[in-house]
Amino acid sequence: MQVSNQILEELKQKTFNPSGMNSVVGLDGFVDKIVTPVDKRDGLDENFQAIETLDALGSRISAAAGKSANIELFPRFDKLGGNGPIMANAHDSLGLNVRYIGALGCPTIDPVFEEFARKTDAISLADPGITTALEFKDGKLMLGNTRSLEEIDFQRIIKVAGEGAFTDMLAKAQSVSIVNWTMIPKMTSILLEIVERIMPSLPPIDTRNFFFDLTDPAKRSSEDIREVLQVISRYQAYAEVTLGLNFNEALQVCDTLGLQTGGKEEEALCSMATEIRRKLEIACVVVHPIESAACATKDGAWWTPGPFTENPKITTGAGDHFNAGFSAARLCGFSPLTSLALATCTSGHYVRTAQSPTTSQVINLLRQA
């Protein structure tokens, strides 16, 4: 990663310190079971050769067509999961005051979320989903059970949180992140209710940012995606709206909106972000492949490489940390370019250590890049 003089100069003039700012994040929650698929066993426990790539796993599965296959999944650990909780944890580590609302266990909080629920004064709406996460050198495969998330709707939010308390929570927040639309079946109707019933009543504040992440909408229809994008666009009347997309998500959104797509090169990524933002008429669109990231605002488009590592300690949650870093940087008043760099380093620290970074750790990684 080559850090530009512009980024270094801006870091001298501004401080990456969102302490004191309020963040609300929701609405999912998963128990992540991190596993490694086994290729060949040499003995007990961890004495095995792993299937190292998604491509290799795909070949193994394809070869079993018309036959059968038995693939061992070696358990690594269980952890707090879901786009919302991971992003909220990252915001907390970066210094924001975080409130969480989502699926953490009902009527009691699931043990994996107990500490998280305490520190975020969380409101739990349903039991968490279960994700079995297979991690590889070239990506990850997430196998999800989302039945419990079907319980989450606007009426459930109002019943559990109280309409006044929920409205007050949003009113006080400089940053509101609503993520994992794909896995919450009633999310579009929830967003519609919020933008129609609550957003018009919120008092104006100097900074109010809404961050949306569709989260791998491959299983959803083009009509569903088009509908939620139209609803997201309506939030721009009340806040600065950012839509975060990984590369595959950006391709699918472009296809849904009838826009041109390109590769992962700088110009192609900037073009995709620009065209999506222009079509939706929102403040910002971010597109982040593994190796780099681009974003577009009304003032232009920017791109930066990331501190890529070939041997990540963890990849599940990398995009959520990117989102947390980007939204926190924007709250601190950084330019789009520097916000991208801080976001890639927030994610970069996480995949190297499996720990959410502090702002000083993000800055240190950026200066080392």
Q: How many CB atoms lie within 10 A of CB 335?
A: 17
159 pLDDT band, cuts 50/70/90, is: very high
CA distance 169 to 342: 27
310 pLDDT band, cuts 50/70/90, is: confident
Q: Which residues, 6+ apart, have CB-to-CB distance to 235 below 8 Å?
A: 191, 195, 199, 210, 212, 241, 282
Q: What is the pLDDT of residue 292?
A: 93
pLDDT at 311 over 90: no
| Tokens 């801006």 -> residue | 10
pLDDT at 307 over 90: no
139 pLDDT band, cuts 50/70/90, is: confident
Please write the tens of the pLDDT for every residue from 223-248: 999 999 999 999 999 999 999 999 99
On average, the pLDDT of the chain sits at 94
Q: What percent of the chain has pLDDT over 90?
A: 86
Find the mean pLDDT for residues 263-267. 87
Domain at 5-30+81-368: CATH architecture: 3-Layer(aba) Sandwich (3.40)
For the chain, give every domain's residue range.
5-30+81-368
pLDDT at 2 over 80: no
Q: Which comes out higher in pLDDT, residue 310 or 199? A: 199
Q: What is the pLDDT of residue 1?
A: 62
For residue 332, the number of C-alpha atoms closer than 13 Å in the C-beta half-sphere is: 27
283 pLDDT band, cuts 50/70/90, is: very high
pLDDT at 5 over 90: no
pLDDT at 317 over 80: yes
Q: What is the pLDDT of residue 306?
A: 87
Please write the tens of the pLDDT for every residue from 6-20: 998 999 999 999 999
Q: What is the pLDDT of residue 62?
A: 95
pLDDT at 280 over 80: yes
- HEC string of the chain equals CCCCHHHHHHHHHCCCCCCCCEEEEECCCEEEEEEEEEEEECCCCCCEEECCCHHHHHHHHHHCCCCCCCCCEEEEEEEEECHHHHHHHHHHHHCCEEEEEECCCCCCCCHHHHHHHHHCCCEECCCCEEEEEEEECCEEEEEEECHHHHHCCHHHHHHHHCHHHHHHHHHHCCEEEEECCCCCCCHHHHHHHHHHHHHHHCCCCCCCEEEEECCCHHHCCHHHHHHHHHHHHHHHHCCEEEEEECHHHHHHHHHHHCCCCCCCCHHHHHHHHHHHHHHHCCCEEEECCCCEEEEEECCEEEEEECCCCCCCCCCCCHHHHHHHHHHHHHHCCCCHHHHHHHHHHHHHHHHHHCCCCCHHHHHHHHHHC
Q: What is the pLDDT of residue 368?
A: 85
